[in-house]
Structure 1
Amino acid sequence: MKVSEPLEPARKVIFNPFLASFKSDPYPTYHRLQESDPVHKSSLNGAWVLTRYADIKKVLRDPRFRAEQLSGRIAAKSLVPRAAGDFAPLAIATGTWLLFLDPPDHTRLRSLVGKAFSSAEVERLRGQIREMVNQLLDQVKDRERLDLIGDLAAPLPVMVIAKMLGLPAADLDKLRHWADELSRVVDPLRSLGDYEYLNEVAGEMIDYFRRLIGERRLALGEDRLSALITAREQEDKLSENELLSICIFLFVAGEETTVNLIGNGMLALLRSPEQMGQLQRHLELIPTAVEEFLRYDSPAQFTSRVATEDIELGGKTIGAGELVYLCLGAANRDPAQFADPDHLDLARSDNRHLAFADGIHYCLGSILARLEGQIAIEAIVRTFPDLKLSPEPLEWRENIILRGLKSLPVTTG
């Protein structure tokens, strides 16, 4: 077979994110699509699926593609005859999630919120994050078996965001539970029953933050919640519902990216003993290693856009109003962009991955997620020099947008 020939005819390429084989390892499917059908019309919901780096980067920067409106998806679910209510709590909770907004709303809200995630502000957290990681590791360092997700990766980002907002440590467990559950709303193929459950979760989270914001208004401090309450941009400020939604968004987005970065990164290391040894000998590679983990097994596999007009791409016409899934995970394994893309290379120098997307929707919390990942992974590698994967099968979470393990069991000696 010639190199220029597709691996198999386009009609035989199956994109089914519900298959167990896909959840375990989606990358062979991505490569087949890149080779033979890079602008793929899915049979699941009629959406387009893009898998090539160049196409995805182009769409992320093209204003003719707007963000998918999560509010529209929620509204559509509420119109189902057997739906319980209008999903108002869920609509409020997700109303200002930046990845589902376009200018001018996106520009305004990002300006009001973004100051908390600048390089300078995040750098001030370095010492506190290191203390949190050490605290979590102190609780498990003498064990022979542990779960890197449940014992470290999952608690850490909730601790960090709670500290930023000045929330009580006693609330960490319920905040983590709420954030973990509500992250499922980004999955476009959830059932009506899922939406009804998530609406209840959203209501609980709204009640919590409404009470907390009311109390904080009476006693403002140096925390980021106080800063959000008083945030202004040219006489503009956050409304009450916007403030509630932003607080919820910080937990959901902050948790998912960091948990999956640490979990997927450590899994890749544990499956690559040579790379693990290299990192243990050269801890100065931690920053480039984290970039490689983000590329190699991206925490967010997809983001979505909607075409505002008929647009030609890859020899096909994406019609106005049609939904497009941009497969960030595939873009980051594209051999046209990355040399030997399926090889984990902790010293990879040219690593302009799209794990945090690109353009105006580039991840607001990317600096914080990187810092958390760097500190946590370095601490794990230092603390457990003989870390090994446990033999039990790994389970991936039920989410086609986000890629992360339910648990990562390991042995320490």
Structure 2
Amino acid sequence: MSDIDFDSIEFATDPDSILSGLRKENGLYPYQFPDGPKVWLVTRRKEVEEVLTSANVFQVSPATKEQSYKNNPFSEAIPKPMHLLATDGFQHKKLREPLEKFFTIEILENYRQYITDEVKKLLSGWKKGESIDLAKNFSYPIPVKVIAKMLGLKWNEHFPQYAISLQMVKTYPEDHLKNVVTFHQIIKETIEHKRIYNQGTDIISVLLNAGLTDEEVLSVSLLLFIAGSGTTASLIIQGLREIINSGNAPDHQLTDKILFRTPPANSAFPRYVHAEYELSGTKLYQGDLLIVILASANYDFKDSDDPLKSYFSFSKGIHHCIGWYIAKMEAEIAFEEFYRFFPKSKILSEEWFSNVLSRDIVSMKVELG
């Protein structure tokens, strides 16, 4: 079934209409990417969890000499494999441990008022009757501002565009590489400054205090900036679409509904097989490549399970999303405040983006009301 169209509007808006068929056929499905490698799509909950939690066998690091970090979806944006989504074992632990001390609920709650103030500031500048692209003017700027503050970056009005370029550079290098190079330099200069005058409590300062090298801090900072902007923006804009289409105030489950039904991350980062292993009745060999479809595992639940409490959208195992709490906080604040300001808005047009890795609404023009 190599004709699966992960780029289609059907997959973007209703992924299980396609994924349910894959789960029925096999928990491990052979798939040939157009002009790309052959992979195994992991579609059922049991096998998805097994791959994500068996870190000795299934790793994000290449398993053979022929394989390379160049195949990592972020290789153009993050030049060296020194970040959480390119490392396993000791190196991953070295990078993650200082971050876990920062990404506690207690510390992250300190950002709640800042997020609320930024959302209100943006919304208060608009008027009912205006036409606004909520994707470009709201769902992206807010999480970019938050992750920039968390990293300890001095705000730059071009940051939202840099965030988009970091995600799109692998697909359209001629359009985005210049922005990526510029942003790399901004991060490098920030690291150099903080290494000399390191008095902050921001993420870059925490990483430097933990003894990480400049290259490690750069790679981790770039990843957090990408992940902290793109996936959160997708979550926010999808929730706003739900609020506008329903005409109802957001309930306390809206964020989880979006994460379950149409998660910003369709799949976990590709896993290489590092030792012979049998999964779902299929023999796997060193070097085989697996794509773990999180969006499929979400729908593969028992009748006794609550799908809003057992989804895989933040992944599992050692690569579980470290920023899950702040992402949900940003979305919930954005939903509440937008409805309070503009409860009777109308969607004029929308443009979706989707592939095997992610989904987003890249444009959603709205008449505010």
CA deviation vs aligned residue, 1:249-275 (integer Å, no higher than 9, x gap): 12111001210111122223444x2xx
Change (3 A) 1:167 1:48: same
The answer on 1:292 being equivalent to 2:250 is no
Q: Is the 8 A contact 1:93 1:206 kept in 2?
A: no
1:385 maps to 343
**5 Å matches for 1:78-89?**
none
Q: Is the 8 A contact 2:204 2:217 kept in 1?
A: no
From 181, 188, 197, the equivalent of 1:219 is: 197
The answer on 1:206 being equivalent to 2:190 is no
1:122 maps to 108
RMSD: 2.9
Structure 1 alignment gaps of length 5 or more: 1-10, 78-86, 341-347
From 59, 66, 89, the equivalent of 1:66 is: 59
Task: Report the TM-score when normalising by structure 1.
Answer: 0.78
- Structure 1 letter corresponding to 2:39: A
Give the C-alpha shift of residue 41 in structure 1.
0.1
**5 Å matches for 1:308-319?**
308-319=274-285
CA deviation vs aligned residue, 1:30-65 (integer Å, no higher than 9, x gap): 111112233110022210112222221221111221
2:317 maps to 359
In 2, the alpha carbon distance for the partners of 1:368 and 1:376 equals 12
Give the C-alpha shift of residue 290 in structure 1.
1.1
Worse overlay, 379-388 or 217-226 = 217-226
From 292, 297, 313, the equivalent of 1:326 is: 292
In 1, the alpha carbon distance for the partners of 2:204 and 2:271 equals 33
Give the C-alpha shift of residue 156 in structure 1.
0.5
% same residue: 27
Change (3 A) 1:38 1:147: same
Give the C-alpha shift of residue 377 in structure 1.
1.0
The alignment partner of 1:59 has SS state of: helix
The alignment partner of 1:309 has SS state of: coil
In 2, the alpha carbon distance for the partners of 1:398 and 1:357 equals 18
Higher relative contact order (CA 8 A, sep 6+): 2
2:328 maps to 370
Flag the structure with larger Rg: 1
Change (3 A) 1:29 1:349: closer
Structure 2 alignment gaps of length 5 or more: none
The alignment partner of 2:292 has SS state of: strand
Q: Is the 8 A contact 1:290 1:374 kept in 2?
A: yes
- Structure 1 letter corresponding to 2:202: R
- Structure 1 letter corresponding to 2:45: Y
Count of aligned positions: 361
**5 Å matches for 1:168-183?**
168-169=154-155, 171-173=156-158, 175-183=159-167
1:4 maps to none
Q: Is the 8 A contact 1:158 1:172 kept in 2?
A: no
In 2, the alpha carbon distance for the partners of 1:365 and 1:179 equals 16
- Structure 2 letter corresponding to 1:42: Y
From 121, 127, 140, the equivalent of 1:135 is: 121
